[in-house]
């Protein structure tokens, strides 16, 4: 299994920015498209994480490859030091899988 280290790519202990998430997406996309092997995304050294970052990285992987390929091939690891990682990750995943409902909620808020 291949592994990329988030810290090494974004050069920060905070995975917060949309652009950083896009950098991760593009790195993973390139590796997966070239080698077609599962990839571990290593969060060692990362202390903070935003849903913005997750949407730009894992959310885009979900959009491009779908839930099954993403679930079986892109694995976050070493994230126990990040408070509520799984809550944010699951929220991001749920928003993707229920995007029609999510969009409807957003439209109600702006009505």
> Which of the two residues, 51 and 106, has the higher pLDDT score?
51
d(CA 17, CA 52): 6
pLDDT range class, residue 111, cuts 50, 70, 90 = very low
- pLDDT score for 101: 61
Kindly write down the DSSP assignment for every residue of 61-76, as one continuous string: HHHHHHHHHHHHHEEE
Would you say residue 9 has pLDDT above 50? yes
CB-side exposure of 71: number of CA atoms within 13 Å?
A: 8
- pLDDT score for 108: 52
Could you tell me what percent of the chain has a pLDDT over 90? 84
């Amino acid at each position: 299994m291949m592994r990329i280290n988030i810290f090494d790519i974004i050069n920060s202990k905070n995975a917060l920015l949309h652009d950083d998430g896009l950098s991760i997406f593009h790195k993973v996309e390139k590796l997966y498209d070239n080698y077609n092997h599962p990839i571990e995304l290593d969060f060692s050294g990362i202390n903070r994480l935003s849903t913005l970052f997750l949407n730009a990285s894992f959310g885009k992987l979900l959009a491009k490859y779908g839930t099954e390929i993403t679930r079986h091939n892109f694995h976050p690891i070493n994230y126990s030091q990040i408070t509520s990682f799984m809550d944010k990750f699951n929220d991001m995943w749920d928003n993707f899988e229920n995007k029609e409902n999510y969009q409807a909620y957003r439209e109600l808020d702006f009505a």
